Amino acid sequence: MGNLLHLKAVLPVRAINAGYFVTKGKGRHVDRVMDSFEIIYVSAGCLGIAEEEKEYNVEAGEALILYPGRHHWGTRDFDSDLTFYWLHFYLDEEANRTGQDIMALPQLIRIAKPEQFEELFRRFIKRQEVSQENRTVLNLVLLEILCELADSLSPLEVSGQKVLLANQAAQYIRNHLEEPLSASILAEQLECNPDHLGRVYNAVYGKTLTDSIHEARLNKACRLLIETNLTGNEIAYECGYTDVDYFRRNFKKYLGVTAKEYRQTYQLLM
């Protein structure tokens, strides 16, 4: 009785800070050289940015890792709908010197589970408001973000044709959230069999088309709750739900809280 379990570890990363940027089409990415790493995840629009001699157009659903000591700058003005998350961090010197490699990440990665990835960023940003003294929890969330980046590489193990078909389905979902969506509609648009499309999509992304449709719509709802003053009913219609009660049930099912509670929790992001 009264004994405590003490855990000790040297985490490979040290988080600094993170944020969420709604550009409203004004300006371009800052021209600078940093002493830290930075993860940029684009949630909407497309970000034009360069690091040294390499230029990137980071599209919605993609993450870019910028390296310390390298010159990077915006290559064009922000898109009117561009929004992105950013997170600065260091590698821990002791862990880097004595530890073993646990992952290897390319600089540009398309995220396999964008809704889950964005939720991790929101969790980090909320945590940093209350975890100024104890940074361990932030380092753990950062490590989970990096693990999500690593996990997003696994679809490449599936055949190229299947990845292409699944990516086309995911892109169609993102671009037509306000319209009726189902496996049959997607299959018709992509000129393939619905059952085949469902199996391929599940093999690449590890979830059903129906779940992906709901997650994409609810992810948009989360952004609208944070970024706008639209009512819950208005947000439901913006995200393709014609039945507001169904939207509310789904939001609670997938997010674990009501839309009102979500807005109250994350309103500090603005």
What's the pLDDT score for residue 165? 87
Summarize the confidence of residues 242-264 as an average pLDDT. 89
Q: For residue range 130-154, list pLDDT tens digits in order.
A: 766 678 889 999 999 999 998 887 5
Say how far apart CA 189 and CA 177 lie, in whole Å: 14
Task: Compute the distance between CA of residue 208 and CA of residue 238 in angstroms, rounded to an integer.
Answer: 23
HEC string for 252-265: HHHHCCCHHHHHHH
Note the pLDDT tens digit of each residue in 163-215.
788 888 988 998 899 899 999 999 999 999 999 999 888 877 778 899 889 98
In the block, tokens 């469902």 appear at 198
- The pLDDT value recorded for residue 77 is 94
| Percent of the chain residues topping a pLDDT of 90 | 47
Whole-prediction pTM: 0.67
Asked if pLDDT for residue 159 goes beyond 70, the answer is no
Average pLDDT for the chain: 87
For the stretch 5-38, pLDDT in tens is 877 777 889 999 999 999 988 899 999 999 999 9
Domains annotated for the chain, with CATH where assigned, are 13-154 (2.60.120.280), 158-269 (1.10.10.60)
Instruction: Select the more confidently predicted residue: 185 or 269.
Output: 185
Give the pLDDT score at 270: 41
Q: In which residue are the tokens 């855990």 written?
A: 7
The reported pLDDT for the residue numbered 99 is 66
Q: Are 169 and 186 in contact (CB under 8 A)?
A: yes
What are the beta bridge partners of residue 247?
none
